[in-house]
Structure 1
Amino acid sequence: MRASRACRARAHALRRTTSTATWRSSGASPTRTTRTPRRSSSGSPGRPRRPRRSPAARPRAPPASRSPPLPRPRRRARPHPTSATWDAASGTWLRSEGSTPAMAASGERLSAVNVVSIVAVHEQTKFKAQGGTLVPTYKLKGEGDATIATGGKTIAVTWKKAAPEDPMRLYLPDGTEALLAPGNTWVELVPQGKGSLTVS
């Protein structure tokens, strides 16, 4: 029994000496660290839960971009003929749109002392209206045919306009300048090659 105890003591001392030499050769102190497992809310060890975010704090995905609706093509209003009828009682030309008398907002019949119809080139511009329709315009430069209705009569004349900023002048067939009767004047534009003017 004594021999066996001595052998055990020597073996134990030898293990301690060998272990100490190993620690010194590594250059680090023989310290041990122990980690205490965290416990969940249920009491059992586990990973800590992240704090919940309120719905307002959660990042929301940006709304998907929506393309604007395409404009619907609008129907063009059908052109209706306009007419002027001489009224001897008032000494004016009474205006009508189709078969309907043209009335003012006050309820009075639209009338004019002089009605001048200008025939000119009607062309498209680079400007667009709603729905992509090109905006037309009249080319009022140069000269063209015209008709004057005044005093119950109609006279064929020629209109001339040298520049856009110049006033338009009307000339009789003999070359003299046409004069209008005192009073209001209506000017009707007739598209050349597309419109028509009828005198009856």
Structure 2
Amino acid sequence: MARTGVGQDRTRLVVVRGNSASGKSSVAAGLRARFGRGIALVAQDNLRRTVLRERDLPGGKNIGLIDTVARYALDAGYHVVVEGIMYADRYGDMLLGLVADHRGVSRCYYLDVPYAQTLERHASKPDPELLAQVTQEHLRSWYRERDVLPGALETVIGADSSLEDTVSRVMRDTGLDRLPPASEQLAT
């Protein structure tokens, strides 16, 4: 199937992947808070679990929905942050195609957090309902060590990078830190 270009030269596509409790959602929220309006968050958990109420299985319908939402937002002039566990063997083709088709700057990151630290981070979450629903056994079964995309596409960021440092790095790497306010960009 022939692919077509998506987004614009000035749009930014950021993919943030990693295991559960690695900080993906926090990085995405930090990017949006730092940049302001004009960043669309395309969260795997929201589209898969909330919108479709689908289990994460090979060939899941959420894969196409993530791709469609990201492409739509890029074409509308938004910068896009796609975040989620998104196992490489299930989501890799979609992510590679999205990056290849994007006309602007694209950067992918893998947050590499050891399993023991995943457990600590998860236990510190303030939502008691989530803590009751997601057990250590769940975290163990979901955990994949260094599940990076092929072709050295991703920058691996270790657990020693603070949230602030990670957000700053992504802002610099993508050039989001040098762009005008989003309200000016979307007006053109």
TM-score (norm 2): 0.20
Q: Of Structure 1 and Structure 2, which has the larger fraction of its residues in helix? A: 2
**Structure ID, larger Rg:** 1
So what's the TM-score if we normalise by structure 1? 0.19
Of structures 1 and 2, the one scoring higher in RCO (CA 8 A, sep 6+) is: 2
